[in-house]
Amino acid sequence: MGKYTSDSQELLKHIGGKQNIGAVSHCMTRMRFVLNEPAKADIEAIEAMKAVKGSFTQAGQFQVIIGNNVADFYNDFIAVAGVEGVSKDAVKKAAKNNQNVMQRILAAIAEIFAPLIPAIITGGLILGFRNCIDSLYIFDNGTKALVELSQFWAGLDSFLWLIGEAVFHVGIPVGICWSVTKKMGTTQMLGIILGLTLVSGQLLNAYAVAGTAVADIPKWNFGFIQVNMIGYQAQVIPAILAAFTLVYLEKFFRRITPQVISMIVVPFFSLLLSVMAAHFILGPIGWKIGSAISAVIYAGITGPVRVLFGAIFGFVYAPLVITGLHHMSNAIDLQLIADYGGTMLWPMIALSNIAQGSAVLGMIRLQKKNTQAQEVNVPAAISCYLGVTEPAIFGVNLKYVFPFICGMTGSAIAAVVCTATGVTANAIGVGGIPGILSIQPKYMLWFFVCMVIAIVVPFVLTSIVGSKKLDTEAKNGKEVSESVTLKAVATGKAVTLASLEDGVFSSGMMGDGMAIVPTGDTVYAPCNAKVSVLMEESKHAVGLVLENGVEMLIHVGLDTVNMAGEGFEYLVKLDQSVKAGDALLKFDREKIKAAGHPDTVVVVMTDKPADCDLVLITEGNVTANETNLSK
């Protein structure tokens, strides 16, 4: 009988029995299930189990967070359940069975836009700053903007447009084509070239089409047919259609072409035919579809039911973040900007960020004496106010549920005022409180009013509801004693878990801790400890039991489990006793980055004894085996 046999039996019962398991696997910290009937899982009972630290559903997978001992738990579970485990890729593939066609389409769109978010945020910040210097008429009795008073600001305004145009006019179609080819595993350079053909300077700029007579639009004349030479700057759907056409053409030609001539035939015919399809057929059709979608959304936001539209969107946006499908709104925002010169969706998204942060602010007030809770609450609220909601949603609000609902309610009320007053943004990417920079100047005052609503309502509601729902322990925490001092496990820059782009570590679900952006390539033991967990296939993480009883996970990179051990080397063995400063594992930073993953070293205390009050630093430069990691 294994250590986790009884827990495994209990988990098997709560997920609906063996017959409800479509596939099961595990990573460093989580059991990953594909359930035949997800509704049969008793989530409340599962999360009440002592061995379980939390659960969530993402991309069709039901994931149960176990912690460092997940490998042992997994072995006991498959023995109890009488099922065979499969690879993580197989689980992902099976998970698609839990998604209908629309969910798969939306998930694909979300995955396409996720890599583009950093560029979109940068472009949004730049256009927001340009708003302030060229469109805010606050000088000379409200008749002049800053650019009219100084040549420096005028020159800076002109220079910054170089980046803004590159992101939103040129970068979006090119980035989409690149992202699709990357996602589908085909030649990314062909995707970039395809995107460039959509925004070539030889074509009539998309923004000039509406003001150009049909007879004056340049054309390719093939004798028997003429095709309009129109660009697709800032257009989303034409780029998506063209990119997927390229992907499937390349896969088709790879399949039918002999290997000896594939280097010539496959890229030539794939690119040529996809560019022809993009400009002759897909571009015009995609333009019409995009315009139709934006027209419907625009009518909803500006029409007689705009207040109802705002209330619904404001209420449901935060739940979309949980699914990861919130990125799909970027496509609609960009289409609205292209067609109408602004978007009314993005202001409501920024307000939803603020509302969830304000719900956490209410929790900060309620748990002001609970120092352990505040370590998660405070950074989560700050990141939320800056537009990153995952730490607040996963780490705080969903944990207690009522703050999440209070945040959704405040967001809905703010969105009603937002749509009623017609608040419009020039750009997207800047969320939370800085989102005001993207708002058209004439609407900034109304957006400020909406921000006040999004701050006050969730805060008040959370405070009122929480004063009745939270028990004394949740509010005040427990008195604990001092712990041991730890040394830095790697050399680099210390950062907070909340700053990571990971819904599990950043939310605090795995436990308290910190992260290090490394400059070296080795991870060391922070103190005397025993190696409790190793991942023999991926070699990307080490589990330790420290001399004070704390269970610690040291995880190199994010999503590096997918590298299957490439670039990682263990320097210790399972159950080995190590001393402070002993090398645990080496990793190749270049291989991690080449695989598209951050190389951040995550340090998480997955389990602490009740009498241990160990807190890790979260800022400043650290040196392995020298800098104190504990406060």
Report the catalytic residues. Answer: 27
Q: What is the three-class DSSP state of 226?
A: strand
Q: Cβ contacts of residue 365 below 8 Å, gap of 6+? A: 459, 463
Token look-up 């409200």 returns 142
How far lies 348's CA from each of 304, 355, 358, 408, 439, in Å?
18, 10, 15, 12, 11
Residues 60/99, Cβ–Cβ less than 8 Å: yes
Query: Which among 188, 174, 187 is positioned nearest to 278, based on CA atoms?
Result: 174
Handedness of CA 570, 571, 576, 578 (dihedral sign): negative
281, burial (CB in 10 Å: exposed 0-12, middle 13-18, buried 19+): middle
How far lies 576's CA from each of 149, 523, 548, in Å?
70, 16, 17
Number of Cβ within a 10 Å radius of residue 293: 17
Q: What is the three-class DSSP state of 625?
A: coil
Rounded to whole angstroms, the Cα distance separating 599 from 607 reads: 24
Rounded to whole angstroms, the Cα distance separating 462 from 483 reads: 33
Rounded to whole angstroms, the Cα distance separating 559 from 540 reads: 10
Q: List, as one string, the DSSP characters of 420-465.
A: HTT--BS--S--SGGGGGGB-GGGHHHHHHHHHHHHHHHHHHHHHH
The letter for the amino acid at 130 is: R
Q: Cβ contacts of residue 312 below 8 Å, gap of 6+? A: 412
Rounded to whole angstroms, the Cα distance separating 77 from 72 reads: 9
Token look-up 């008793």 returns 42
Rounded to whole angstroms, the Cα distance separating 525 from 579 reads: 7
Sheet holding 61-65, edge to edge: 21-26, 30-35, 61-65, 54-58
Rounded to whole angstroms, the Cα distance separating 359 from 410 reads: 9
Query: Which among 367, 312, 353, 338 is positioned nearest to 477, based on CA atoms?
Result: 367
Host H or E run for residue 604: strand 601-607
Rounded to whole angstroms, the Cα distance separating 236 from 519 reads: 38
Rounded to whole angstroms, the Cα distance separating 336 from 2 reads: 58
From first CA to last CA, the distance across the chain in angstroms is: 41
Residues 369/475, Cβ–Cβ less than 8 Å: yes
Residues 229/203, Cβ–Cβ less than 8 Å: yes
83, burial (CB in 10 Å: exposed 0-12, middle 13-18, buried 19+): middle
The letter for the amino acid at 155 is: G
Q: Which token pair is 278?
A: 């993009």
For residue 324, give the DSSP letter: T
